[in-house]
Structure 1
């Protein structure tokens, strides 16, 4: 595939402009590199949330939040059995078995947590990001050896509504799944003020909610890369070639279109009276941005238990197969990050209004 000089300039400009902020981009993300031969995947689930409180100047909340720019962050690893992360994985595995009748296992994970407040005279913005990086095993439901496999992909849309408590040396116990957990650590006096009001609802919406990634795989963009070069050039994801087929199948979700559907920022609003004044709250949840790379040629297999989908993966591709679906050429892969970064900028501007 050849690109004109103008296309190269546009693509490179977009990458240069947005690469500096994309890592901090506001998006619900899921990425995975799947190795059928190893019956495992390296995965990453990132949940984000932005919540804004609006209050009158010189009010009680203004006195507590104006100029407050506190933050907390920590990282955990399941190699430490005392921090509670293994128990979080146990709850995910229980969810997979009870809600999806899936035998996949989330194992050997790391977790990165960040929460921050940026307070001003009349508004305060609270931002949260939780990144879970597990190894997912027991993906293959059927196999004839090394040539073909049937993969369970229902793990892409986990939804955890309950509190997920971990323990850190700096923060003690903290609920990583609800913004209120971070609020209690950053500004406990504000948490006390809002905990019994309707404002608390915005802070008790789960962060680790990846339901939108459960969209039918037919509504994901599909790219078949016969050499692995295009996926590498786009700078995405994980290496899935070692021990696998030299070809790569790539599924991506996040670009709104007639075929794939519309993915927009979700906004919730509310208000309550605190100490005699009205306080407003706005919660913003980003649209999804997901990608799954698989070693081998993948096809969607319908008709599983409960209408679930599986992927049939072979080490060789049929002759004459199309390289992509839904007009999804390599330009889309290269510019996809820039598009999501643009969404991030718009969301952050909206959060500060």
Structure 2
């Protein structure tokens, strides 16, 4: 089950990502709304072994940047191409105004050179309202994949294909990459938001803000356009089971010329934020994703944010928890069966209790201690210090017969008998002293 779950997660989250960041605020009560989309890419030109590109680029640094509005022929061409792509997707929305900002910066270094490539489009979206009545407004959201493969010339620069820029600004680099896999990588279009359109809105994270419908909304300084309305938001770009694994998109190619070179392009994951004034309910009309917008959420709708976890993941995790629980009880049961049964340690029947603190001057308490009734298990319980003291104690001499009186003790000490020294014997009949005075005393007592 664990392997199956891991496989489902990997397969479900391994999706391609592109490099566009979209931000749009849709007002269903207006004929037009603003949008902004940012396309970014970084190109690395690596020359680890030096060579002609190292000599040409490692000290270089230049920047190309500029802006243009809808009066520019190149911007008009771009707006036309974007509207054609929107129409091809089935959407009725149109871009009615467009501004372009491009910024390209090359920085040379000792091991590589980098080119930071950025194109920002900002403009006005119109004709997105499909129909409107007293209950709801249907809004078209099928326009969000703002992409084109066509050449877009602004100020003499094709801002959509980096290879065209290098052909003009860095002819040596272009001559080395021409006809190689690196040329294909550098020919990929910058203005590409296809993945934002391909990601279903049902996979986006939904949130609505009810602040506009509160009685004291005016005290928050809210815009009049949202007074009396909730605001719905949809966001994408997070790595999750729902949206997929969002990672950088990297393309790399090696070139064998006078030296080995590596061309690598890196693009960040797509991100998008769409908001609409009113509560938006997702739907599909003629294959195009739309929202039905009402001023307030339906009665009883208390959830302000989505976050539904895929049900197969929930069931999978529950199954894994059940298997883990069964395994735990099985192992615990076997461990209990393998444990040694019966009394451990000293048998209580061989212990006897006695009170402590009963000595003279001691404070008598109810506490007690236990000791062995006999010394059967003494070898298991003896004090190691007692054994140590026994080994260190000097041996005590023994005699065949203990002294029975003072003169006998003197004899054992090889000294003169006390009775002889005192001139009188006070011993009893058990005296075995050889002194005459002692013998006479013993004889008189027999």
Aligned length: 282
Q: CA deviation at 1:108?
A: 1.4
Residue in 1 that maps onto 2:354: none
Contact 1:37/1:244 (CA < 8 Å) preserved in 2? no
Change beyond 3 A, Cα 1:58–1:255:
closer
Contact 2:41 2:266 (C-alpha < 8 Å) held by counterparts:
yes
1:203, distance to aligned residue in structure 2 (A): 1.1
In 2, the alpha carbon distance for the partners of 1:228 and 1:257 equals 30
Offset from partner CA, 1:71-111 (integer Å, 9 cap, x none): 11101111x2x4420111011111222x2122211121111
Aligned partners of 2:110, 2:64: CA distance in 1, in Å? 22
**Bigger radius of gyration, 1 or 2?**
2
Q: When the two structures are superposed, what TM-score results if normalisation uses the length of structure 2?
A: 0.60
Q: CA deviation at 1:241?
A: 5.5
CA distance in 1 between counterparts of 2:60 and 2:163 reads 17
Q: Report the equivalent of 2:23.
A: 31
**Residue correspondence of structure 1 range 1-353 to structure 2 within 5 A:** 28-78=20-70, 80=71, 82-97=72-87, 99-144=88-133, 147-166=135-154, 168=155, 173-214=156-197, 215-227=199-211, 242=225, 246-274=229-257, 276-302=258-284, 304-305=285-286, 307-321=287-301, 322-326=303-307
Q: Give the conservation status (yes or no) of the 8 Å contact 2:147–2:193.
A: yes
Q: What is the match of residue 321 of structure 2? A: none
**Deviation for aligned residue 1:284:** 1.0
Distance 1:188 1:272, change over 3 A: same
User: Which whole-Å CA distance do the structure 2 matches of 1:64 and 1:159 have between them?
Assistant: 34
Gaps of 5+ in 2: 1-17, 214-221, 310-446
Does the 8 A contact of 1:76 with 1:83 survive in 2?
no
Aligned to 1:339: none
User: In the TM superposition, what whole-angstrom CA distance separates every residue of 1:324-353 from its partner, at most 9, and x where no partner exists?
Assistant: 10179xxxxxxxxxxxxxxxxxxxxxxxxx
Higher relative contact order (CA 8 A, sep 6+): 1
The Cα of 1:248 is off from its aligned counterpart by 0.5
Measure, in 2, the Cα distance between the counterparts of 1:35 and 1:184.
43
**TM-score, normalised by the number of residues in structure 1:** 0.74
Runs of 4+ in 1 over 4 A off after TM superposition: none
Tell me, in whole angstroms, the C-alpha distance in 1 between the residues paired with 2:228 and 2:176.
Answer: 57
Structure 1 residues not aligned, in runs of 5+: 1-25, 230-238, 329-353
